[in-house]
Structure 1
């Protein structure tokens, strides 16, 4: 059973577990468990994807309950009208906050994009980032006698493939558990000493306009046991508060709006 964060007659949001594929893919023919099929069976009706989360990423995943609502939600994502907030654990101490404006080359899959043109152009990519906390643990990983980690809040303003992982790697603070753009030695150390055996990236919340009612909808997803365990070990347990899953705020009436 998946944790349903919000459901009405038009849409449903779940807390996607790390390691789950959103939908069936011929690239992963041997997989048996998928979010879409599980949600469909759980609520007894078809669902329509409107955005994606990478397989190793956990957090808020939104789906429409009709093709029309799915189309309207997809438009909000495509037009960058949805505010997405992530949390991540990075290697080292990230001291600053700001907006990273660093174009990214298109990443292609070796199989799915086998016959694609070799011509690739760097695409604009923007990420807001805020350092929330840092810690130094008395555990040697690599050539240093201690290990340093940072907790950050991330908000992508564009939607490039693996944007958040690649941007943090560009800052020389790769995400813990990132097997593609990260530090494999640090990944093994974090898994061995702190139980961080997954990509430490969590889609914490989505803020959007309800496609039918027009109300403001904020959906939050709680942390899984791996995240909670790490937060407790690092003394960060109060930094991502246990807030209500959903805030559903009606728009002010026309008469009360400022001119």
Structure 2
């Protein structure tokens, strides 16, 4: 599996993580002894070790930032803790989402003992109604949304979308299995439709202002074509 580099310099790299790839093996991941993590794939491909600054769920695709040296990880992580980095995600969700919504429902992660504040800003981009029955309805409705998380809790976006009754398509844990099954049966699309589309930040060492986009995968591009939706970040 070839990993595409989106940006690199002497301090960090940004890569486009494929769907269904672990960033690294850990106690909360579904580990498989024969499965390579993103870090292992990168080491095999480039002969170097890299160190993740943040995380993406296994089934979430898109841009992820990694440091070249362990000593620089904390410097890059400070961008996240100080909210000096802008993260933009895209998701396909069930139903017609609101034009704008500020979601501030607390989230409890797997390893957390208490709920923590979590904030997500939602912007509606596109909607579609399909003449495909799901459950008791004769048609099915979906939305393309842009999500800007202001905090970084585990499964935050997936939980927040379920909370407002617009679960993400392909989300086996928090989603609607009837709609997920329809996407597989009708279109052959099996992935979670959640993509980390971009990171924007001022480089802590070079002071360069960076805006890094991650292209969508084949399933996403097939969906855009099928639904007549414009790709929001280009090819």
TM-score range, shorter chain: over 0.9
2:86 maps to 1:93: no
In the TM superposition, residue 126 of structure 1 has moved relative to its aligned partner by 0.6
For structure 2, the residue ranges without an aligned partner over 5 or more in a row are: none
Task: Supply the distance in 1 between the matched residues of 2:92 and 2:188 (Cα, whole angstroms).
Answer: 13
SS at match of 1:211: coil
2:196 maps to 1:218: no
Residues 195 and 230, structure 1, Cα contact 8 Å, conserved in 2: no
Task: Supply the distance in 2 between the matched residues of 1:97 and 1:139 (Cα, whole angstroms).
Answer: 27
Residues 215 and 233, structure 2, Cα contact 8 Å, conserved in 1: no
Q: 1:107 aligns with which of 106, 109, 129?
A: 109
In the TM superposition, residue 225 of structure 1 has moved relative to its aligned partner by 0.3
Task: Supply the distance in 2 between the matched residues of 1:142 and 1:44 (Cα, whole angstroms).
Answer: 50
TM superposition outliers: structure 1 runs of 4+ over 4 Å: none
Task: Supply the distance in 1 between the matched residues of 2:109 and 2:25 (Cα, whole angstroms).
Answer: 21
Residues 221 and 231, structure 2, Cα contact 8 Å, conserved in 1: no
SS at match of 1:68: helix
In the TM superposition, residue 136 of structure 1 has moved relative to its aligned partner by 0.5
For structure 1, the residue ranges without an aligned partner over 5 or more in a row are: 244-259
Seen in structure 2, the aligned counterparts of structure 1 residues 155 and 212 have a Cα distance that, compared at 3 Å, is same
In the TM superposition, residue 239 of structure 1 has moved relative to its aligned partner by 4.1
Residues 197 and 233, structure 2, Cα contact 8 Å, conserved in 1: no
SS at match of 2:184: helix
Residue of structure 2 equivalent to 1:158: 151
Residue of structure 2 equivalent to 1:171: 164
2:199 maps to 1:206: yes
Number of corresponding residues: 232
In the TM superposition, residue 98 of structure 1 has moved relative to its aligned partner by 2.6
Task: Supply the distance in 2 between the matched residues of 1:231 and 1:144 (Cα, whole angstroms).
Answer: 24
Please list the CA deviations of residues 29-75 of structure 1 after superposition, one character each: whole Å capped at 9, or x if unmatched: 43421111111232222211110000000000110001122221112
TM-score (norm 2): 0.93
Residue of structure 1 equivalent to 2:232: 240
Task: Supply the distance in 1 between the matched residues of 2:217 and 2:50 (Cα, whole angstroms).
Answer: 24
Q: 1:127 aligns with which of 120, 140, 144?
A: 120
Residue of structure 1 equivalent to 2:185: 192
TM-score (norm 1): 0.85
Residues 86 and 204, structure 1, Cα contact 8 Å, conserved in 2: yes
In the TM superposition, residue 25 of structure 1 has moved relative to its aligned partner by 2.8
2:52 maps to 1:49: yes
Please list the CA deviations of residues 157-212 of structure 1 after superposition, one character each: whole Å capped at 9, or x if unmatched: 01111110111111101000111111111111112112321110000000112121
Residue of structure 1 equivalent to 2:173: 180
